[in-house]
Structure 1
Amino acid sequence: MSSHASPFPDDLLALQQQLHEAQADFHTLATAPPWGAEPSAVFTEEQVDQVEELWERIRELTMAVNEHAYWTTSPAGPDGRVNNAARGLRVVRNLDAGTDAGAA
């Protein structure tokens, strides 16, 4: 974790990092060309299984992040404070990863 203080609990930050990694893995696999000698080759069953497993992992992690107890303790209101906090979580993740904070 970086040296800056985060208002988010460590377990929520860890979930967000796992989600980011699963999304990156999914993107890499889903955008790779299908393997095979034929121009009309399709993804192998193994690749399809990997994509489905990653998709399921992304869904699980998204739910875990969205349903984390932190969000029930964050002040909510019409000014979007919870929404702003969620945006802040993505920024913290990007700062920790050393990436552009605007690329969430």
Structure 2
Amino acid sequence: MSSDSASFPEDLLDLQQQLHQAQADFHALATSPPWGAESTPVFTEEEVDQVEELWERIRELTMAVNEHPYWTATGDGRVNNARRGLRVVRDGSDDARGAGAA
């Protein structure tokens, strides 16, 4: 975990964690369909709806992360490094918040 992680606002960390979860849920659904007789994936109507909902959620969260006010307050030279740092904040996001609160 980089020291920059501690400087991310809690709401941005929460959005990023939600985005990671939505991506993981999508991946799990998309890579484990029941297979049909001709080795092709067979999705139920419910699963198709879930995929569409997850894609919409991923789009919304991506926009929310990318348009967060934090990025305009971060100096131009540091934005790319900060974005990379945020992307690696995963399950350890609680640790990053705790470090920032100290």
Q: Give the shorter-chain TM-score range.
A: 0.7 to 0.9
Separation in structure 1 between the aligned mates of residue 91 and residue 79 of structure 2, nearest angstrom: 19
Q: Are residue 93 (structure 1) and residue 90 (structure 2) matched?
A: yes
SS of the residue aligned with 1:92? coil
TM-score normalised by L of structure 1: 0.76
Aligned-pair RMSD on alpha carbons? 2.5
Moved over 3 A (4+): 94-98
* Same amino acid, percent of matched pairs: 72
Unaligned runs of 5+ in 2: 96-102
> Whose RCO is larger (CA < 8 A, sep 6+)?
2
Given that 2:17 and 2:91 are in contact with CA atoms closer than 8 Å, whether structure 1 keeps it comes out as no
Instruction: Report deviation, 1:85.
Output: 0.4
Greater shift in the superposed pair: 58-67 or 40-49: 40-49
Gaps of 5+ in 1: 99-104
SS of 1:21's equivalent? helix
Residues 46-99 of structure 1: CA deviation (Å, up to 9, x unaligned): 11110010000000000000000000100004xxx211100111223354389x
Provide, for residues 24-43 of structure 1, a one-character-per-residue CA deviation record: whole Å limited to 9, x for no partner.
000000001236xx414621
How many residues end up aligned between the 2 structures?
A: 91
Residue number in structure 1 paired with 2:26: 26
